[in-house]
Amino acid sequence: MNIPRRDLLRLAAGAAALPAVSGIAQAEAYPSRPVRLVVGLPPGNSPDIVARLMAQWLSQQLGQAFVVENRPGVATNLATEMVVRSAADGYALLLVVAGNTVNGWVYKNRSFDFMRDIAPIASIGGIPLAMVVTPSLPAKSIPEFIAYAKANPGKINMGSSGNASLPHILGAMFDMMAGVDMLHVPYKDSVFPDLLAGQVQVAFEPVPAVVGFIKAGKLRPLGVSTKEPLNVLPGVPPIAQFVPGYEALGWLGLGAPRNTPSDVIEKLHATVNAGLADPKFKASLDALGVVGAAMSRADFERFIAAESEKWGKVVKFADIKAD
C-alpha cells in the first residue's frame, strides 16, 4: 500500500511526539524520584526526629523516598539558603522552624529572605517549652520569681542554647513582658550541666528535654509557654496566667522554594494533614511532646507572618544581634 508523502510525514511527526508526551506525563506524577528534606539542626534533637517521622510517612504515602539531610549551621540559615537556591520543583524541602522567623531580624546581611523566598507547605505542630529554675533559687512560682528578679536586677543568669536561639528569645520576651532584667548566658554546647549545677539559675527549654530532670527533682518548673496546662507536667501553670499574652511554641512545618508548582505543594499539604489525622502517626508525635497542629495553607502563612512580627519586637527590645 502506498501512503502519500504528506501523510507519512504527519504520522512520523506524531510518532516522534509520543515519547515527549509520555515524558510530560511522568514529570507531572510527583514525586517520581527521591526527595530531600533539609533540616538545619543536628541529628537526634526533637525537630530532627519529627522530620524523620514525617519523611517516613511521606515515603509510605507517596511511594518515593523522602531523605532527611542535616545541614546545621548559622542558626538554620545554612539549610534555608540551600533550599532557597534549589530548583523549585518539590524535590528539595525545608523543615521550617520557629527560629526561621527570628533570623530575619537578627541576620541582616543574608542573600535570601525566608519570608519572601520560602513557600509554606504545611504546619506539623509545636513543641511546648517550660521555664525551669534550679532548686537552690528561692522562687517557687512565677510571681515569686518576678519579685526576686526585680529585687536582684541583672543577677539572675538565664542560660540558653545560643544567641538568638528560641530559648534565648523566650527569655528575652519574659524580660520584656514581665519587666525584669536577666543576664543572658549563651552556650554553644548543652546548657544543662551548668543549669543543673546552679551556675545559671533559669532556662526556657523544650518540655521533652526537661521533663526527666523535673521528675527527678533536679529542676523546678515554674510555668509552661502554652495557653493551657500540659498533661505531662500536671500542676504547672501557663506563664500567661501571670504574664498576660505570653505564649510561644517551638513550631515545625514544611516549606519549599517559593515558585514550586502549586499542585506539588497541595499534594504535600494534603499528605501531611492526613498524617496529623492518623492515630498512629499522632501517637508518635505525642510521645515526643509535639502537639500536632494541622492548618490550611493560608492559615499557616498568616501564622508565620504573625510569628515574625512578634519576634521582631522581642529582638528589637533585647537588642539581639548575630554573633
DSSP codes of every residue in 39-102: ESS-TTSHHHHHHHHHHHHHHHHHSS-EEEEE---TTTHHHHHHHHTS-SSSSEEEEEETTHHH
* Half-sphere exposure of residue 293: CA atoms within 13 angstroms, side-chain side: 18
Grid cell 496546662 in the structure block, residue: 229
Count Cβ atoms below 10 Å from residue 288 Cβ, excluding itself.
16
In angstroms, rounded to a whole number, what is the distance separating the alpha carbons of residues 79 and 177?
Answer: 32
> Is the separation of the CB atoms in 90 and 121 below 8 Å?
no
Helix or strand (DSSP H, E) at 17: helix 5-28
Sequence-ordered list of residues with C-beta below 8 angstroms from that of 234, at least 6 positions apart, any chain: none
- Of 302, 291, 294, the closest CA to residue 271 belongs to 294
**Start-end of CATH 3.40.190.10 domains in the chain:** 129-241
* Architecture field, domain 35-126+249-318: 3-Layer(aba) Sandwich (3.40)
> Do 81 and 38 meet the contact criterion of CB atoms below 8 Å apart?
no
What's this model's pTM, rounded to 2 decimal places?
0.85
Cβ atoms of 46 and 288 within 8 Å: the answer is yes
The segment(s) of the chain belonging to CATH 3.40.190.150 are 35-126+249-318
CB within 8 Å of 60: residues ≥ 6 apart: none
Per-residue pLDDT of the chain (323 residues; tens, 9 = 90+): 444 444 434 434 444 444 443 334 334 699 999 999 999 998 988 899 999 999 999 999 999 999 999 999 888 999 999 999 999 999 999 999 999 999 999 998 889 999 999 999 999 999 999 999 999 999 999 999 999 999 998 899 999 988 999 999 999 999 999 999 999 999 988 899 999 999 999 999 999 999 999 999 999 999 999 999 998 999 999 999 999 999 999 999 999 999 999 999 999 999 999 999 999 999 999 988 899 999 999 999 999 999 999 999 999 999 998 87
**How far is 308 from 97, CA to CA, in rounded Å?**
12
The CATH code belonging to domain 129-241 is 3.40.190.10
**Is residue 308 within 8 Å of 104, Cβ to Cβ?**
yes
- Measured from the Cβ of residue 226, the count of other Cβ atoms closer than 10 Å reads 19
**What is the grid cell recorded at 140?**
517557687
Report angle CA 253, 254, 256 to the nearest 5 degrees: 150
